[in-house]
Amino acid sequence: MTVIPKEWLPPCSMKRIICHWTAGGYKATSLDRAHYHLLIEGDGTLVRGTHSIADNVSTADGVYAAHTARCNTGSIGVAVCCMSGAQASPFQPGPYPMTPKQWETMAKVVAQLCQFYRIPVTPQTVLGHGEVETYLGIPQHGKWDPMVLPWAPEMSRTQVGHYLRALVQRAMLGEEPLEQPSSATLSIGGKTFPVVMLNESAYVAIRPLAEGLGWYMRSATGGLVQVDVGGKLLTLSSTLIEGKGHVACRELAEALGTSIEWEPQTRTVKIG
Ligand SMILES: [Zn+2]
């Protein structure tokens, strides 16, 4: 996993990484580059800021990338270039919404920074600008970047922060599930659906499953989904993977009161 050129990474001691969006367009402007060490443009292109990461070891000389109020010392600033004209409440992403590609690239960039600078992935050391007040107790005047995902605006800011750190950890392990096709298949009701294998469990996206099988989705809130299966109401816990609600195949089989089998040759989970 190498995203950042080695020459952009000066050996020095850094404490944390703070993630942002620029509240601009999809291109990094010269002003954007003065504020952050690394920027990710709309198409995923990585741009180096004007300040070296080493400039933020000390901020006493006034020469550093100023990205987070009273929290620039020892802080690497990474930003996705987007969200000009965005509004927090009610949420409006504006004409330059953050893209999944930018979000995923940011997670990889942060993962490489964590490895190089030996920064642990915790809410105090890898966080969004919008989490600084919560986890570090330093007021940020209502900053909320980059804590709303335009493709999954129902996720809470807490969930988005956990999701970011989970992606960073996954990238550090060298796994790149976001770029790989699903490695298994679910066979149910004579149809097949892609399955994501994570944490020793097999997950299937609930919405396409329900649509494919003619099930009716009653609700999807707060980590729970309710599905009407021919008049029988199933309540299942939902896990967000790549911004989409997934249910564990095992839990699904249990709720349906039917069998579940794994066919290793075809890498197929069979329910019923
Ligand atoms: Zn910010």
For the chain, the structural domain boundaries read: 6-178, 181-271
Distance CA 212, CA 10 (A): 52
Question: pLDDT class for 264, splitting at 50, 70, 90?
Answer: confident
In the reported structure, the alpha carbon of residue 221 is separated from the centroid of ligand 1 by a whole-number distance in angstroms of 28
CATH hierarchy code of domain 6-178: 3.40.80.10
In the reported structure, the alpha carbon of residue 134 is separated from the centroid of ligand 1 by a whole-number distance in angstroms of 14
Q: Are 59 and 69 in contact (CB under 8 A)?
A: no
Protein residues placing their CB within 5 Å of the ion ligand 1:
20, 129, 145
In the reported structure, the alpha carbon of residue 272 is separated from the centroid of ligand 1 by a whole-number distance in angstroms of 49
Could you tell me where the beta strands, DSSP code E, fall in the chain? 16-21, 38-40, 46-48, 75-80, 126-128, 184-188, 191-198, 201-205, 216-221, 224-229, 232-237, 239-241, 244-248, 260-263, 268-271
In the reported structure, the alpha carbon of residue 88 is separated from the centroid of ligand 1 by a whole-number distance in angstroms of 14
In the reported structure, the alpha carbon of residue 21 is separated from the centroid of ligand 1 by a whole-number distance in angstroms of 6
Q: Are 164 and 126 in contact (CB under 8 A)?
A: yes
Residue 9 has pLDDT above 70, yes or no: yes
In the reported structure, the alpha carbon of residue 12 is separated from the centroid of ligand 1 by a whole-number distance in angstroms of 23
Residue 179 has pLDDT above 50, yes or no: no
Summarised one tens digit per residue, pLDDT across range 100-149 is 999 999 999 999 999 999 999 999 999 999 999 999 999 999 999 999 99
Distance CA 27, CA 7 (A): 22
User: In 69-92, which positions are buried (b, 16+ CB within 10 angstroms) versus exposed (e)?
Assistant: eebbebbbbbbbbbbbebeeeeee
pTM tops 0.85: no
H helices of the chain, where?
A: 30-35, 100-117, 132-136, 157-172, 206-213, 249-256
In the reported structure, the alpha carbon of residue 217 is separated from the centroid of ligand 1 by a whole-number distance in angstroms of 37
Q: Are 84 and 25 in contact (CB under 8 A)?
A: yes
In the reported structure, the alpha carbon of residue 144 is separated from the centroid of ligand 1 by a whole-number distance in angstroms of 7
